[in-house]
Amino acid sequence: MLLAACEGPDELSVKDAPGQTLDVVNEHVPDDASFVIQDVSPVVGVAASFDESNTDEWTLLAACADAQVIDQAATIEVSVVPSSRVTNEVRSKIEAREFGETVGDCTAPD
């Protein structure tokens, strides 16, 4: 019998996380997960300045996890930039998955 992890109606898949604000993603991170946040602001031309107190002001460029769904992951890594620096060009690159190198390889199962 083969069991597969499926995304539930209130779960966030890793592939859908880029483009979301960090506060949205935080709602899906399990309490016991290892969660690494990389501030990659230089990618959009500003100095790194991440502050956890304003997670609604940060947008994910990329994400990886050891599961296909954030809610089921034990290890999660995301890269973020200030939402104010997310232009149409940056949004297009997020959608095209061009920022994958800003996070490690968490080896999520296929």
Q: Are 53 and 12 in contact (CB under 8 A)?
A: no
pLDDT of residue 107: 62
Q: What is the pLDDT of residue 4?
A: 43
Would you state the pLDDT for residue 79?
97
Across the range 40-66, mean pLDDT stands at 95
Q: What is the pLDDT of residue 106?
A: 73
Tokens, residue 82 = 């200030």
pTM: 0.86
Q: At 38, is the pLDDT very low, low, confident or very high (cuts 50, 70, 90)?
A: very high
With the C-alpha atoms ordered 80, 86, 89, 94, is the resulting torsion angle positive or negative? positive
Q: Which residue has the higher pLDDT, 44 or 9?
A: 44
Mean pLDDT along residues 75-95: 97
The domain locations on the chain are 14-102
